[in-house]
Amino acid sequence: MRKLKAAVVGVGNIGTIHTEIYSSLENVDLTAVCDIDQEKADKAASKFNCKAFYSVESLLAEMPMEIASVCTKGEENGGDHYQPTVLLLEAGIHVLGEKPISNNIEHARLMTKLAEEKQVRYGINLNHRFTPSAIKAKEWVDANRIGTIHMIDMTMWIDNPVETSPWFHLRALHPHSFNILHYFGGPIQKIQCFANKGEGRKIWSNAQMNLQFENGIIGHLRGSYDGDFPSGSFGLESLEIVGSKGRIVIENACESLRYYPRRSRSMEQYDCYGGMNHFQETFRSRIEAWVQDNINQVHPAEVNGSGKEGLAAQEVIEGAIRSFETDTVVKL
């Protein structure tokens, strides 16, 4: 069996998850970890029996991998992705970056352009939609089970007390929401955003956004960093897709999938469809899809959850910020 050689850059909280998943996959050989924090790199290397590097330059000098996850963080959880990602893409390494693709839209545009020029695969960890429930819902939509989509509504909220910048909540959390909205509704054409600062907060921690999609679908996103965090949960996420023949509801990414036909009460309901019980499991399903895209050597334009998808989500987020700041509906 062909084994892909993989490395993980940035082995903090989330990089450790990528490392654990790569090292558990039969078709992957985790060869290296890289962190500017030498202690973290050494610890991960000894745990996963691979080589430690302390800079991307030294990693590239030995080139022990074909694919790499970039799990750095930085400003608004995405400011540090640019430098290591550019080095890796330039060297022809296929990169799976953490979300947001970048908090800096110019950087996001440059990275996707570079990946295209170099013809390398560039994916983003938009893991919230890598669930059996979302895949089944998409099948239902494609099979015309709900007819023409009229409206899509989404809620995504978690409890995140970090106060580092005014638009941290939109830029760091909603790459996930907009990727899911794009997946079901296609490109968004217009956005109108209202926001407020939760009690005692300095940042725009709550936002309500009206959306119009290019194909005429209308929708709404409700987001918050002042959300619930009940034990055993990651927060709250819900999606409702309303069509001319029925509607689909997904709760908490993978926990509940329901189909309601418009003219009958015989709804269909699945708990933890496909055996996925918890959001945390989406890291594995997303990384497995990334590995499979590389094993299959899909064309870079065909990567599922691509850099371009990450960029598209970030463009909508910047539109939402402009809408709020100018008190207008923004055309994207």
Contact 240, 247 (CB under 8 A): yes
Say whether residue 99 binds ligand NAD (CB under 6 A): yes
- Positive or negative, the Cα torsion across 47, 50, 51, 55? negative
Among 73, 113, 150, 322, binds ligand NAD (CB under 6 A): 73
Q: Is 14 a residue that touches ligand NAD (CB under 6 A)?
A: yes
User: Residue 96 CB, nearest distance to ligand NAD (Å)?
Assistant: 11
User: What span, in angstroms and rounded, lies between the C-alpha atoms of 51 and 31?
Assistant: 6
Q: Is 72 in the site for ligand NAD (CB under 6 A)?
A: yes
CB of 132 to ligand NAD, least distance (A): 17
The single residue among 4, 8, 15, 250 that binds ligand NAD, judged by CB under 6 A, is: 15
Please, what is the minimum distance in Å from the beta carbon of residue 77 to ligand NAD?
3
Could you tell me which residues are beta bridge partners of residue 252? none
Q: Which among 53, 6, 327, 67 is positioned nearest to 193, based on CA atoms?
A: 327
- Give phi and psi for 149, each to the nearest 5: -75, 130
Q: Does 77 bind ligand NAD (CB under 6 A)?
A: yes
The residue from 69, 84, 101, 253 that contacts ligand NAD (CB under 6 A) is 84
**Whole-angstrom Cα distance, residue 134 to residue 129?**
6
- Listed ranges 78-86, 163-171, 190-198, 235-243: which one lies at the site for ligand NAD (CB under 6 A): 78-86
Dihedral pair phi/psi, residue 206, rounded to 5°: -125, 140
Within 10 Å of residue 56's Cβ, how many Cβ atoms?
A: 24
**37/62 with CB nearer ligand NAD:** 37
Distance CA 31, CA 64 (A): 6
Does residue 18 interact with ligand NAD by CB under 6 A?
no
Q: Is 78 in the site for ligand NAD (CB under 6 A)?
A: yes
The size of the chain, in residues, is 332
CA–CA distance, 159 with 183 (Å, rounded to integer):
25
SS (H, E, C) 193-207: EEEECCCCCCCCCEE
Interaction between residue 310 and ligand NAD (CB under 6 A): no
* 127 binding ligand NAD? (CB under 6 A): yes
Task: Taking the CA atoms of 140, 146, 150 and 152 in sequence, report the sign of the dihedral they define.
Answer: negative
Nearest to 55 by CA among 38, 43, 42, 68: 38
Under the binding rule (CB under 6 A), the answer on residue 125 touching ligand NAD is: yes
Cis peptide before 100 (omega within 30 of 0): yes
- Confirm or reject binding of residue 35 to ligand NAD (CB under 6 A): yes
**Residue 109 φ/ψ region, left for φ over 0, alpha for ψ in the -120 to 50 degree band, beta for the rest:** alpha
**258/286 with CB nearer ligand NAD:** 286
Comparing CB distances to ligand NAD, the nearer of 101 and 195 is: 101
Among 18, 40, 94, 171, binds ligand NAD (CB under 6 A): 40
Report the residue number, 90 or 139, with the smaller CB distance to ligand NAD. 90
Show the site string, 146-175: x = touches ligand NAD by CB under 6 A, - = not. Answer: --------------------------x---
SS3 at position 220: strand
* Interface residue with ligand NAD, options 80, 153, 226, 240 (CB under 6 A): 80
| Site mask for ligand NAD (CB under 6 A), range 259-288, x = bound | ------------------------------
C-beta closer to ligand NAD: residue 97 or 246: 97
The C-alpha atoms of residue 284 and residue 15 are separated, in whole angstroms, by 13
Residues that bind ligand NAD (CB under 6 A): 9-15, 34-37, 40, 56, 71-73, 77-78, 80, 83-84, 98-99, 125, 127, 172
